[in-house]
Structures are given as C-alpha cells and as structure tokens.
Amino acid sequence: MGRKILFITTDQQRYDALGCNGGRIARTPVADRLAREGINFRRAHNQNVVCMPARSTMVTGQYVRTHGVTSNGVPLPLDAPSVAGHLHQRADYRTALIGKAHFEPMFDRHGRWPETTMGRDRKHGPHRGFEWMELAMHGPMGSYHYTRWLLENHPNEVNGFVTMLSAASRCDTGAPEAAYNPIPREHYHTDWLADRTIKWLGTLGNNEDWFVWMSFPDPHHPWDPPESAARRFNWRDLDLPPGYPGSREKIEKILADKPRHWLEWYRGNFRNDEGGPQNFIPAEMTPDQVREINALTHAENELIDEACGRVLAYVGERGWDADTDVFFTTDHGELQGDFGLLFKGPYHVDALMHVPFIWRPAPSAKLAPAQISEPVGHLDLAPTFCTIAKLPVPDWIQGKALPTAPGSARDRVITEWDSQFAQIGMHLRTIYRDGYVCTVYEPSTRDLGFDLARVYQALSVTRPLPDIRYDGSEGELYNLAEDPLQWRNLWSDAGYAKLKSDLIADLFDNLPREREPRLTVESPV
C-alpha cells in the first residue's frame, strides 16, 4: 500500500508569487506552511514555458522532444504514457484530474478531442489514466464542465468574465484582459474546483489510495477574479515590480541587448501571437496598468491558497493527512511587468522558466524539512509519484525521483521552445547550470507549425506576418548571481566565451533524440 498524492498546479504563476519564495503582497499561508513542513525546491524549471508542452511533461515524465508536444496546439497522443494510468493500473490508485487539463487544444470547433467534448456530452472519462475528469478553463469558454455548470446554474453571471486573448478591459486603468468580475466567489472556478475535488474525494473509501491532480486555471490571464476578492488590494498602493525597468528609454536599452524579437515585440513591430492577445503592444502599457494587473494577480493567488486550505482541511477530516504527499507547482510563469512586458512567449528568462515547486511529504514518511537549491524539473514529478506508490519507475520516464535533502549533485535543467506558428519559426534550447542561464537560438524555420495566415484571415487581421529570422548564431547568457533580473546579456562578451561554449556543449550532450515523426500543430492553442 502506497501513500496518497494530492498534486496541485496553478497556471502561469511566478516563483515569487508565494510568501515562502519572497512574495510580499499576496498572503499564501497554506503554500508557505507546505514549504515550511516539507521540501522547497529553490531552483525548479519547467521544460517548456507554455501550457500544453509543460503539462504533457508532468503527466508523462518525459522531455518535450520525446512526448512530442513541442508547442501549444499539438495534442498529446492518446496512447502517450501517463503516470496516472501507471498508478491506477499497477497499484490500484483511484485517479482524478479536476480543473485545467490542456493536453489537447482548447480551440476545438469540430469536437475532435475528449477534453473539449466531455462537458458537452456529460461524461467524465476515463481518459489518460484518470478515472474521473471534471474540467475547467479560463472562465466560461468552450464546452468544459465548469462552463456547462455555470450556464445551467448561474447563466446571468457568464458575462462578468473577459474573453481570453481579446485584450478587452473593464478595470480602472484600461489594462488588457483585466476586469472586476461581479460573480460571487463561490461560483468562480477557483472555489468551484475545490468544491468538486472535495466531492470526488468524498466518494472514496477511507483505505483507498488516490492520486488527485487539482489544477487551477488561475492566475493565467484574463485577470478577472471576483470583485469581492480583487478589491483586497488597491493597485494605487503597489510598488512596481523590481523587474520593471521604468522609463521607455531604459526598457529599450535593455531589450536592444537581447535577440531582435524582444525589442520588436515591445515596439509593436513583432506581435507575440504565441503568448498573448494579438493587438497588445507592450510600449503602450502604462505603469499603472502593471500595478493593476499585479493587484488582480495577487487576489487570484490568495483565492487559490484559500481553496487549497479547504481541500487540505477535508483531507485532515478524513484522517488522511499523515499518509498524504502534497505537491504544489505551476506550468510556467508570467512576465508581469518584467522588462516592461506582459504575458509569455519565446522568452527564456526566470519570469517564465523558474517555477514554484514544493513537496510536503506525508508525515508518515518521516522526511526532514529541507530547502534544496540543486536544479530539478517537471519531468522529475512522475518518477517521484511512482516512488511514493512503491512502484518501479518505468523505462518511458526520463526524469529522476526528486531529492529529499541537499547534496544530490544535480547540476542542470533544460527548457525548450518551438513555435506553434510556421511564420514565427523560433527554436530555443536553454540550460541552467551553476547559476547561469544559457539559451541557444537554433536557425529559424518556415515549414514547421500552424499557418498563421489562416488565423489572421479568420480574425480579419490585416498587418504583415511576422518576419524575424535567426541564423543560429544568436543567443542569451545571464549570470544570475550578478544579474538576477537578467538585464545584461553576456552572449557576445568575450570574457564569457569559454563558459558559453562549455554550457552549449553540455546542453546538447544532454538533450534526448527528437521524436520521429514530428507531431504537428492541429489547432492553435
């Protein structure tokens, strides 16, 4: 008999969102307690900085180039390995995923994938090794279970949400995708998700082992939390984040030292179609808009923490706490004002790669609390789940079980990026090692990915298609000890040439072979 596993993920949450990781605004006592009583991994990275690849790595324990979901829009094959299925089949674990799955594209006009049709068809699985799925996205979109529930029970509350990728605004500063939602908090998807998790756990016997993935859609944009919570913070009282450079002159100076698409996005000449609304131009964003988005994000982070507290309280009421391992992480971060930018995209910096990562082992395991600075990644979750369940780690898993104390001798973690749109065609490979972040830009392509022209045509977009090309000589190198904000790119600094060469060799020596044939983007996002 193994131990029970509660796997909590958020969406697009920064490392510094939590008090235990230096956050000073949002109150996160539940996550902070998990970190204090358990293991807080101080240098955890995702293997991709957008949703679908990152989540596919979590469920498979594989590198992006192995499971093949190299970008959003590439559905994880239905026969892909699943750690949930492994636990269910080999150790009789009861399994559920409640909240955001996103192993399959969410824009599914023709009902091709189970995730987008389950709610419509009033089904709950089984799917990908999960006996039960009850799914939500960012508000009442698509045909997810939360959408159906809200439409059937509270249809007059649907219009309080902002449409994702619209850049619409119903807030004080006109910030994109931001609003004060009049919905009661108990009807918002964060509390709904906690309610559904508790209800499913209530169907289980006291002696059953279970693996529950509780997956919050927040604090991913749109930022439209219930107004009752959003007004906890007066954005006018907030300082700008440390990573916000200030003046346009200083922002442009910092971005000019990076590969071309950084500055071109800021100016609006390159539209970041892969990471945010198409009509968002960062240079037009005001400091007050950054403050207000941060205030709304802090409110969403507090609601998540409170929801986690409710579920953990129920676990305690059932007498399960001593035998339950709790994990807390996110799929990727958010720029949230750093470099004068917002949202995410092909930008391999700490704001997007460095993620909160906490493991509170079951008290019955008698593992001492620890803070671990050696690098770990999302692909290390699946083998750890297997170890907890007292199962051998299967050969298809490429990660290693997480260390339980400092001194593991781990020294690198790798993150990749491949564009979902053919006309963008960027390919980034990044290694973190010894306090340095080194990113190689492989030569741009034009024949891999979804045809962005089709998207522009469908949306009546008339501007030119992106046309920034890299020849393979470009890159980024940062010394985090001296430059934690990553404002100084050392790629062309002769004093770092030997180190750069060594990091690049180490990166490619440790990348696994790419899956063949390559999976294709079948629908945007």
CB atoms within 10 A of CB 302: 21
In angstroms, the CA 77 to CA 440 distance is: 28
Q: Is residue 167 part of a domain?
A: yes
Q: Is residue 175 part of a domain?
A: yes
Q: Which pLDDT score, from 0 to 100, does residue 521 have?
A: 95
Q: Is residue 181 part of a domain?
A: yes
What's the pLDDT tens digit per position in 200-214?
999 999 999 999 999
What's the pLDDT tens digit per position in 236-264?
999 999 999 999 999 999 999 999 999 99
* Stretch 106-123: mean pLDDT: 93
Q: Is residue 29 part of a domain?
A: yes
What's the pLDDT tens digit per position in 351-410?
999 999 999 999 999 999 999 999 999 999 999 999 999 999 999 999 999 999 999 999
* Stretch 480-500: mean pLDDT: 98
Domain harbouring 316, CATH code? 3.40.720.10
Q: Which pLDDT score, from 0 to 100, does residue 457 have?
A: 87
At residue 469, does pLDDT exceed 80? yes
In angstroms, the CA 479 to CA 496 distance is: 10
- Contact criterion met (CB below 8 Å) for 91 and 129: no
Q: Is residue 295 part of a domain?
A: yes
Q: Is residue 134 part of a domain?
A: yes
Q: Is residue 179 part of a domain?
A: yes
Range of the domain at 25: 4-241+285-409
Total domain count, the chain: 1
Q: Is residue 450 part of a domain?
A: no
3-state SS, one letter per residue, for 389-435: CCCCCCCCCCCCCCCCCCCCCCCCEEEEEECCECCCCCEEEEEEECC
CB atoms within 10 A of CB 232: 15
